[in-house]
Amino acid sequence: MDAHDDNGVLGAIGGTPIVRLESLVPDGAAEVWVKIEGANPTGSYKDRMAVSVLTAAVARGDVSPGDTVVEYTGGSTGTSLAFVAAVLGLRFTAVFSDAFSASKQQAMEAFGGEVLVEASHGDGITPELVGRMRERAYALAEQPGHYYADQFGSPDVIAGYASMGEEIGAALGDGIDVFCTGVGTGGALMGTLRGLHGAGLEPQVVALEPAEAPLLTEGVSHGHAVEGVAVFPDPPFLDRGVLDGIRTIGQERAFETCRRLARTEGIFAGGSTGMNVSAAIDLAVELGAGHRVVTIACDHGLKYLGGRIYS
């Protein structure tokens, strides 16, 4: 059986709904369409990346059932990798830290992953901590029977996200004026764009970042709370040549948009989605009626209960 057989649980990755916002978009504005990625098995578009990276590695013979996949992770990517590894008969070890939420550790462990915790000593997420996590993961991956997944470098990351663009193209046809989304590694933006181009669509592309961490526009971060984005001044997968613009959105506005999305549209998502939808609405107002803006609800709001967005 093909490991990515459509009848197996891995076949439940992708094929997510895309919905048009009903009430948050002012009259006279363009349409805003949102791809609901919380509908993936672990509640995140990272499942697309994980299944792409691991099935390609198995197909190349880089890793075989019983071997151990290694990654350093704040938890969302780790949960997707743990899930796909479980289905493919691979072991998974995450290098994690107590600076990230305990529920993400529990989710990785629920899928049978081993979680090694680097101490943050109460200093939060710092470059020093991330460097320590990376070195530990690299050292572990050197051992026989271990494979480094490489979420920040594998070419299979962009390939995995291409399906998002293909699905958007199939659902909406041509007539997408702008595609906007936040950038962490840039994998989701570049992969979705690849899929849109494959479907014959050439929308304008706008990258987004929190106003508190304008890494793309100014190369600085003052610390922010929008999980998953604004990680690198030079995101590993981002080709700035594809961008028509970069916009910043204040994180408090992003979080307020999350709450309004849940209460008025029934879309329950995380902070990066709030940022995406805030920018999409701005763009829709500027473009006016008769146009279409598309963005992504990156992951499910259940991952953020207990955090500052919903409490």
Ligand X SMILES: Cc1ncc(COP(=O)(O)O)c(C=O)c1O
Among 4, 15, 17, 92, smallest CA distance to 51 is for: 4
Q: Which residues contact 29 (CB under 8 A, 6 or more apart)?
A: 281, 284, 285, 287, 288, 289
Whole-angstrom distance, CA of residue 99 vs CA of residue 227: 12
Burial 206-223 (b: 16+ CB within 10 A, else e): bbbbbbbbbbbeeeebee
CA torsion 17-22-23-29 (nearest 10°) is 110
Scanning residues 280 to 309, which ones bind ligand X (CB under 6 A)?
298-299
Q: Which residues contact 202 (CB under 8 A, 6 or more apart)?
A: 196
Which one, 186 or 214, has the nearer CB to ligand X? 186
| Residue 56 CB, nearest approach to ligand X (Å) | 17
The verdict on 108 binding ligand X (CB under 6 A) reads no
Which one, 47 or 67, has the nearer CB to ligand X? 47
Which one, 67 or 227, has the nearer CB to ligand X? 227
Binding mask 71-100 toward ligand X (x if CB under 6 A, else -) reads -----x------------------------
| Size of the residue set binding ligand X (CB under 6 A) | 16
Backbone angles phi, psi at 26, to 5 degrees: -65, 155
Cβ(37)–Cβ(297) below 8 Å = yes
Scanning residues 23 to 52, which ones bind ligand X (CB under 6 A)?
none
Among 299, 142, 289, smallest CA distance to 226 is for: 299
Structure tokens at 162: 């291409």
| Residue 182 CB, nearest approach to ligand X (Å) | 5
- 148: β partners: 70
The verdict on 185 binding ligand X (CB under 6 A) reads yes
The verdict on 184 binding ligand X (CB under 6 A) reads yes
| Residue 28 CB, nearest approach to ligand X (Å) | 30
Per DSSP, 263 falls in state I
Piece of the chain touching ligand X by CB under 6 A; list 3-11, 58-66, 184-192, 210-218: 184-192
Scanning residues 221 to 280, which ones bind ligand X (CB under 6 A)?
227-229, 270, 272
Which one, 29 or 99, has the nearer CB to ligand X? 99
| Residue 62 CB, nearest approach to ligand X (Å) | 22
Whole-angstrom distance, CA of residue 291 vs CA of residue 280: 12
List 38, 113, 169, 187, residue binding ligand X (CB under 6 A):
187
Strand-by-strand arrangement of the 91-97 sheet: 114-118, 91-97, 68-72, 146-148
Which one, 32 or 297, has the nearer CB to ligand X? 297
Piece of the chain touching ligand X by CB under 6 A; list 16-24, 107-115, 176-184, 285-293: 176-184
Which one, 55 or 73, has the nearer CB to ligand X? 73
What single-letter amino acid sits at 167? Answer: E
- The contact set with ligand X (CB under 6 A) reads 76, 182-189, 227-229, 270, 272, 298-299
